[in-house]
Amino acid sequence: MKKISIIVVIISFTVVAIPFGSYLYVQYKLNNLEDDTYDYLLEKGYTKNDIVSVESKIKKLSLFTAEVIFADETYVIYDYKKNSSGKVIQIGVSEDPYDGDYQQFKHLE
Protein backbone atom coordinates (compact mmCIF):
# COMPACT_ATOMS: atom_id res chain seq x y z
CA MET A 1 0.00 0.00 0.00
CA LYS A 2 2.86 2.33 0.78
CA LYS A 3 4.42 1.69 -2.65
CA ILE A 4 1.21 2.61 -4.42
CA SER A 5 0.88 5.90 -2.55
CA ILE A 6 4.51 6.78 -3.37
CA ILE A 7 3.92 6.00 -7.05
CA VAL A 8 0.74 8.12 -7.05
CA VAL A 9 2.62 11.05 -5.47
CA ILE A 10 5.46 10.78 -8.03
CA ILE A 11 3.05 10.60 -10.96
CA SER A 12 0.99 13.52 -9.61
CA PHE A 13 4.12 15.61 -9.14
CA THR A 14 5.30 14.79 -12.67
CA VAL A 15 1.91 15.65 -14.18
CA VAL A 16 2.03 19.07 -12.49
CA ALA A 17 5.78 19.79 -12.80
CA ILE A 18 6.25 19.13 -16.53
CA PRO A 19 3.60 21.58 -17.82
CA PHE A 20 4.56 24.18 -15.20
CA GLY A 21 8.25 23.85 -16.06
CA SER A 22 7.46 24.12 -19.76
CA TYR A 23 5.42 27.27 -19.15
CA LEU A 24 8.25 28.84 -17.15
CA TYR A 25 10.78 27.96 -19.86
CA VAL A 26 8.65 29.56 -22.61
CA GLN A 27 8.09 32.72 -20.54
CA TYR A 28 11.82 32.95 -19.84
CA LYS A 29 12.64 32.63 -23.55
CA LEU A 30 10.05 35.27 -24.51
CA ASN A 31 11.21 37.76 -21.87
CA ASN A 32 14.86 37.14 -22.73
CA LEU A 33 14.17 37.74 -26.43
CA GLU A 34 12.33 41.00 -25.69
CA ASP A 35 15.19 42.29 -23.54
CA ASP A 36 17.89 41.24 -26.02
CA THR A 37 15.99 42.76 -28.97
CA TYR A 38 15.52 46.03 -27.11
CA ASP A 39 19.23 46.11 -26.22
CA TYR A 40 20.13 45.30 -29.83
CA LEU A 41 18.06 48.22 -31.11
CA LEU A 42 19.65 50.59 -28.60
CA GLU A 43 23.10 49.40 -29.74
CA LYS A 44 22.08 50.10 -33.35
CA GLY A 45 21.53 53.75 -32.40
CA TYR A 46 17.80 53.88 -31.75
CA THR A 47 16.57 55.80 -28.73
CA LYS A 48 13.82 54.82 -26.32
CA ASN A 49 11.57 57.40 -28.00
CA ASP A 50 12.11 55.74 -31.41
CA ILE A 51 10.70 52.42 -30.19
CA VAL A 52 6.96 52.20 -29.49
CA SER A 53 6.92 48.55 -28.48
CA VAL A 54 8.89 45.31 -28.41
CA GLU A 55 6.64 42.31 -27.88
CA SER A 56 7.75 38.70 -28.16
CA LYS A 57 5.41 36.01 -29.43
CA ILE A 58 5.42 32.40 -30.49
CA LYS A 59 4.88 32.05 -34.23
CA LYS A 60 4.56 29.03 -36.48
CA LEU A 61 7.69 29.30 -38.61
CA SER A 62 10.13 31.33 -36.56
CA LEU A 63 8.91 30.09 -33.15
CA PHE A 64 10.18 32.78 -30.73
CA THR A 65 9.85 36.15 -32.49
CA ALA A 66 10.02 39.74 -31.24
CA GLU A 67 7.70 42.19 -32.98
CA VAL A 68 8.98 45.78 -32.98
CA ILE A 69 6.98 48.91 -33.81
CA PHE A 70 8.86 52.16 -34.36
CA ALA A 71 7.42 55.61 -33.61
CA ASP A 72 7.79 56.89 -37.18
CA GLU A 73 6.21 53.77 -38.73
CA THR A 74 3.42 52.67 -36.43
CA TYR A 75 1.72 50.75 -39.25
CA VAL A 76 4.76 48.49 -39.83
CA ILE A 77 5.82 45.54 -37.66
CA TYR A 78 9.45 44.42 -37.85
CA ASP A 79 10.18 40.84 -36.78
CA TYR A 80 13.40 39.90 -34.99
CA LYS A 81 14.68 36.61 -33.65
CA LYS A 82 17.90 35.06 -32.39
CA ASN A 83 19.94 33.02 -34.84
CA SER A 84 21.73 29.78 -33.93
CA SER A 85 24.67 31.69 -32.43
CA GLY A 86 22.37 33.79 -30.22
CA LYS A 87 22.68 37.02 -32.21
CA VAL A 88 19.51 39.09 -32.74
CA ILE A 89 18.64 39.46 -36.44
CA GLN A 90 15.79 41.01 -38.39
CA ILE A 91 13.80 38.34 -40.22
CA GLY A 92 10.92 40.20 -41.79
CA VAL A 93 8.51 43.07 -42.11
CA SER A 94 4.74 43.21 -42.19
CA GLU A 95 2.46 46.19 -42.58
CA ASP A 96 -1.13 47.19 -42.13
CA PRO A 97 -2.71 46.87 -45.59
CA TYR A 98 -5.07 49.76 -44.85
CA ASP A 99 -2.49 52.30 -43.80
CA GLY A 100 0.87 53.70 -44.78
CA ASP A 101 3.23 53.80 -47.73
CA TYR A 102 3.73 50.37 -49.26
CA GLN A 103 7.05 51.18 -50.93
CA GLN A 104 9.49 52.29 -48.26
CA PHE A 105 10.50 50.70 -45.00
CA LYS A 106 12.67 53.03 -42.93
CA HIS A 107 14.13 50.43 -40.57
CA LEU A 108 14.76 47.53 -42.93
CA GLU A 109 18.18 45.97 -42.38
Within a domain: 106? no
Instruction: Give me the pLDDT at residue 48, please.
Output: 94
Instruction: Give me the pLDDT at residue 102, please.
Output: 56
Within a domain: 107? no
Instruction: Give me the pLDDT at residue 12, please.
Output: 86
CATH number at residue 74: 3.40.1350
Within a domain: 108? no
Within a domain: 101? no
Domain tally for the chain? 1
Within a domain: 41? yes
User: What residue ranges of the chain have pLDDT lower than 50?
Assistant: none
Distance, in Å, from the CA atom of 89 to the CA atom of 41, rounded to the nearest integer, reads 10
Which residues form the domain of 52? 2-95
Within a domain: 21? yes
Q: Is residue 99 helix, strand or coil?
A: coil
Distance, in Å, from the CA atom of 37 to the CA atom of 102, rounded to the nearest integer, reads 25
